[in-house]
Amino acid sequence: MIEPVHQQIEQIFHEASRQIFASLARTLRDLDLAEDAMQEAFASAAAQWPGEGVPENPVAWLITTGRFKAIDTIRRREKLQQISTEIAERMQQVAGANASHAATDIKDDRLRLIFTCCHPAIDLKVQVPLTLREVCGLTTDEIARAFLTTPATMAQRIVRGKAKIRDAAIPFVIPDLSELPERLDSVLSVIYLIFNEGYSASSGDSITRADLSSEAIRLCRLVLPLMEDAEVMGLLALMLLHESRRETRQTPDGDIVLLEDQDRSRWDRDLIAEGQRLIERSLASRRFGFYTIQAAISAVHADAVTANDTDWDQIVSLYDVLFRIEPTSVIQLNRAVAVAMRDGAESGLTIIQTILDRGDLLGYSLAHSARGELLRRVGRTADAIEAFETAMALTEQASEKRFLQEKLRKLRAF
């Protein structure tokens, strides 16, 4: 009986630990204290539940236990006879929350925590990484890869962000309507990166993490009623359109299935229809931007009955607009792939080579993988092998490694 209980605790940790952390953070107003309290609560569950049984509402039990653990921590930090007024008030608030706080009130705590981490008092470079670490539980290494920087640099940013929240006493609340616009860009960036990590995991055995992509969509649905901004609609549309293809992106064994080889009859048409309606609303507002254009590109793919029916000319045109809005090397890389599909591999290869020659995306595995594929198509086998080898050295995603290994096997056998 003990083993199934521990398995259940592990599952709860996997599915709800960040929700529990967000609720503790809101009450305690200290991210490090909340993290420690959550870990201690799970340790208590591992010690008590095998003998006492799993509570009817395990998440609420863990939150309540975490609060009491935090009180114990605060008491240990300060001798009771020397306790400061501030800490005494904090203890009273935490104890009061334990008595009155219901589990039904915790579902939006992760959204509150996102707005806290995206407070304008926090450095813009810190907001998104801090949120990914604290709200989603991504590792510092995963976040560093997403930002194409070193783990040490990213760790310093996250520490600075946590200190700012503590020292400036930034509130754990969803801001008033008047304050939403100045935080919206950061909040949407966070949700987008959460989804990206779920849709194309940077490491691990599976290419997808459904828990993260589903959470990103849920959070965006919560933001939309707060502010019916065109880009909120655009981001939600983009995620829904991508999510419609998730089940077809890998084989039952976890191997990658390219877009051109996916079974389009299995794409979720309801998600596609909802995404297309959101795009229409966003475009009608005439205030659309980065996310809406990306969603429109995804919609072109969704409209194609087969890969051969894809309107690559329209996709290239949309990438031209997107690059004017956000002139990044990653967007230029994606445009290069679309150009290769429209005009031939040599045209796309020239663009990718230009990006790499100026020193951009040298540590980005997908850039080398795309270059390898185009080199393969033009018959430059030795160069293609070298590019795929570079890509494989740069990725930590197991299914991507298998995909590249298979590419290399076929090229070497050629």
Tens of pLDDT, residue by residue over 225-254, are: 888 899 999 999 999 999 999 999 988 888
**pLDDT for residue 205:** 57
Here the tokens at position 257 are 């299935």
Q: Which residue matches tokens 């040298």?
A: 362
In the prediction, which pLDDT does 81 show?
44
Nearest to 35 by CA among 71, 76, 70, 74: 70
Query: Does residue 308 surpass a pLDDT of 60?
Result: yes
Q: Using CB atoms within 10 Å of the CB of residue 3, give its burial: 0 to 12 exposed, 13 to 18 middle, 19+ buried.
A: exposed
Q: What is the C-alpha separation between 364 and 69, in angstroms, rounded?
A: 43
Distance separating alpha carbons of residues 38 and 18, to the nearest angstrom:
9
**The pLDDT of residue 270 is above 50:** yes
Q: CB under 8 Å to 387, separation ≥6 — which residues?
A: 368, 369, 371, 372, 375
High-pLDDT (> 90) share of the chain, %: 42
User: What is the predicted pLDDT for the residue at 127?
Assistant: 86
pLDDT winner (highest mean) among 56-65, 106-115, 226-235, 382-391: 382-391
Burial class of 312 by CB neighbour count within 10 A (0 to 12, 13 to 18, 19+): middle
- Residue 326: CB atoms within 10 Å: 12
Q: How far apart are CA 410 and CA 221, in angstroms?
A: 44
Kindly state the tokens that stand for 396: 């930590």
- Confidence (pLDDT) at 320: 96
Question: Tell me, what's the pLDDT at 104?
Answer: 37
- pLDDT tens per residue across span 114-148: 888 888 888 878 888 888 888 878 888 878 877 77
What pLDDT score does 209 carry?
77
**What's the confidence (pLDDT) of residue 1?**
46
**Which of 27-31, 63-67, 294-298 shows the lowest mean pLDDT across its residues?**
27-31
Token digits of residue 44: 């208590």
pTM here? 0.74
- Beta strands in 231-299, from DSSP E residues, in sequence order: none
pLDDT band at residue 95 under the 50/70/90 scheme = very low
Instruction: Work out whether strand 396-397 and strand 203-204 pair parallel, antiparallel, or are unpaired.
Output: parallel
List pLDDT tens digits, range 343-372: 999 999 999 999 999 999 999 999 999 999
| CATH of region 326-414 | 1.25.40.10
Position 202 pLDDT exceeds 70: no
